[in-house]
Amino acid sequence: MIKTRHILLVTLVAFIVAARVNVSVGEWYATHLYPTISAGLSFLVSWIPFSVTEVMVVCAIGLIIYILFKGIRNKDKVWKIALREAELIAWIFIWLYMGWGINYFRESIYSRGDIERQTYDKEVFNKFLSYYADSLNDAYTQDSVDLSAFEEDIKSIYTSVPDSLGLCEPKNWQHTKRLLFNRLYTSVGVGGYIGPFFCETHINADLRPAQQPFSYAHELSHLLGVSNEDEANFWAYEICRSSDIPAVRYSGYYSLLPYVLSNASKVLNEDEYKAYINSIKPEIIQQLIDQQQFWKSRYNKILGKMQSALYDSMLKANRISSGTKNYLQVIDLIIAFEYSK
């Protein structure tokens, strides 16, 4: 017998499919529905200091197992058990996409910001490298800043982003949440994530001080409606470097360094690359080496490869064809953004 919840389920699935195949539907969701949904969901759990998303995932897995074993115990027919499981999983995915995931299907920042994609130009790239190294060196500081200070600072800067770029405005009750399984995230190299079920931001407690503001700004951009990882890195860089707090500004430049070096190593010849490394303060290079060693010493290769493969597949399944390589494309976006001014 068809019930009201089944009609609602089919309707919501149809809307999600429509958003996936028609970018205008995805953009309408991102600019008209999502701001209210995200504000409401995050408000509901704002008083809880830890990740409700993690609790929900554990409970959902437990409920799936419970339904299975209850059906077996009651000697229900296999198809009935399968239908119950399928409906539960369908509602979980509907919540995931209606709560945040449809942002994967919105227009790119290139379209929203009328930014022209740039073909590779060595002169432009070298100009960026020179500007970046000078800015990074000038921003270098050993100062640190606590979470509450950089959280409020970054939020206030996000409020100045033009509406035309399609970001929500951060709310004063939206605060980063403590991870219950922090050690697990450290073992797979995850610095933070957006909890899609209740629109919660999380950053790893093991992040080095210079990583923290950038990581928070990255995850907050996801909460504000950004899905692509290159765009999230772009906003983290732009927001942090606009800060008046030295430690936040340095975090913006410093956290971009691995992406800059990765891109430079593919374009510059060996001598040019060495010269570029030498143009950066040795204290900064050593800081990056120490940071990489810190994370490497805590990395679990088996779990890390599994997580990376799963996340890569998830991104590709949600119309981010480059998968985890999408993070590296932040340099292309920064250059295109600056070039289009």
User: pLDDT-based confidence at 163, cuts 50/70/90?
Assistant: confident
What is the spatial distance between Cα 54 and Cα 51, in angstroms, rounded to a whole number?
6
pLDDT one-digit tens code per residue, 229-266: 999 999 999 999 999 999 999 999 999 999 999 999 98
DSSP letters, 164-210, are GG-PPPPPTT--PBBPTTHHHHHHTT--EEEETTTTEEEE-TTS-TT
What is the Cα Rg of the chain in Å? 22
* Two tokens, residue 287: 């800081």
CB 158 within 8 A of CB 171: no
Residue 102 is predicted with a pLDDT of: 96
Instruction: Name the nearest CA neighbour of 313 among 326, 303, 300.
Output: 326
User: pLDDT-based confidence at 115, cuts 50/70/90?
Assistant: confident
- pLDDT for residue 322 is more than 70: no
Instruction: Name the nearest CA neighbour of 228 among 218, 213, 238.
Output: 218
Average pLDDT over residues 180-193: 94
Chain mean position to CA 65: 30
- pLDDT for residue 327 is more than 70: no
User: pLDDT-based confidence at 305, cuts 50/70/90?
Assistant: confident
- pLDDT for residue 2 is more than 80: no
Residue 24's CB is within 10 A of a number of other CB atoms, namely 12
Q: Which of 96-100, 145-149, 257-261 is least confident?
A: 145-149
- pLDDT for residue 341 is more than 60: no
- pLDDT for residue 97 is more than 60: yes
* Two tokens, residue 30: 């991102």
Looking at this protein, which amino acid is placed at residue 237? Answer: Y
Taking the CA atoms of 14, 221, 171 and 169 in sequence, report the sign of the dihedral they define: negative
Residue 325 is predicted with a pLDDT of: 65
- pLDDT for residue 174 is more than 60: yes
- Which contacts of 308-314 are long-range, i.e. CB under 8 A and separated by 24 or more positions? 308/188
Chain mean position to CA 251: 17
Residue 225 is predicted with a pLDDT of: 96
* Two tokens, residue 215: 């990581």
Average pLDDT over residues 120-133: 90
What is the spatial distance between Cα 262 and Cα 197, in angstroms, rounded to a whole number?
34
Percent of the chain with pLDDT over 90: 74
Torsion of CA 269, 251, 280, 277, to 10 degrees: -30
Higher pLDDT, residue 79 or 328 = 79
What is the spatial distance between Cα 90 and Cα 88, in angstroms, rounded to a whole number?
5
What is the spatial distance between Cα 226 and Cα 235, in angstroms, rounded to a whole number?
9
What is the spatial distance between Cα 334 and Cα 241, in angstroms, rounded to a whole number?
13
CB 38 within 8 A of CB 115: no
Residue 85's CB is within 10 A of a number of other CB atoms, namely 16
pLDDT one-digit tens code per residue, 306-318: 888 887 888 787 8
CB 46 within 8 A of CB 173: yes
Domain limits of the chain? Answer: 4-105, 111-339
pTM, rounded to two decimals: 0.94
Report strand pairing: 200-203 vs 192-195. Answer: antiparallel
What is the spatial distance between Cα 276 and Cα 264, in angstroms, rounded to a whole number?
9
